[in-house]
Amino acid sequence: MAEITAHHGIVKDTNLHVDDTGGSGRPLVLIHGWPLSGASWSEQVPAFEAAGYRVITYDRRGFGHSDKPLTGYGYDALTEDLHTLLEALDLTDVTLVGFSMGGGEVARYFSEYGAERIRSVVFASAVPPFLLHTPGNPEGPLTAGQAAKMAAQLTANQEKFYDGFVTDFFSANGALVVTEEQRQRALALTTLAKKEAALATMTSFGSTDFRDDLPKVSVPTLVIHGDADATVPFEGSGKRIHEAIPGSELHVVAGGPHGVNVSHAEEWNRVVLNFVSR
Reported as a single tens digit per residue, the pLDDT across 223-272 is 999 999 999 999 999 999 999 999 999 999 999 999 999 999 999 999 99
DSSP state, residue 33: P
Quote the CA–CA distance of 241 and 236 in Å, as a whole number.
9
Quote the CA–CA distance of 226 and 253 in Å, as a whole number.
5
- The one catalytic residue in 19, 20, 81, 229 is 229
**90 is an active site residue:** no
- The one catalytic residue in 133, 258, 263, 264 is 258
| Alpha carbons within 13 A on the beta-carbon side of 80 | 14
Q: List Cα–Cα distances, 264 to 39, 186, 255, 277, in angstroms.
A: 17, 15, 9, 20
The ranges assigned to domains in the chain are 2-276
Q: Which of 210, 208, 274 is nearest to 244 (CA)?
A: 210
pTM over 0.75? The answer is: yes
Residues ≥6 apart with Cβ < 8 Å to 48: 28, 55, 269, 273
Reported as a single tens digit per residue, the pLDDT across 72-124 is 999 999 999 999 999 999 999 999 999 999 999 999 999 999 999 999 999 99
**258 is an active site residue:** yes
Q: What angle do CA 145, 234, 109 make, to 5 degrees?
A: 90
Q: What is the CATH number of domain 2-276?
A: 3.40.50.1820
- The one catalytic residue in 37, 66, 100, 120 is 100
Reported as a single tens digit per residue, the pLDDT across 17-47 is 999 999 899 999 999 999 999 999 999 999 9
Cα 234 to chain centroid, rounded? 15
**13 is an active site residue:** no
Residues ≥6 apart with Cβ < 8 Å to 253: 224, 225, 226, 227, 260, 264, 267, 268
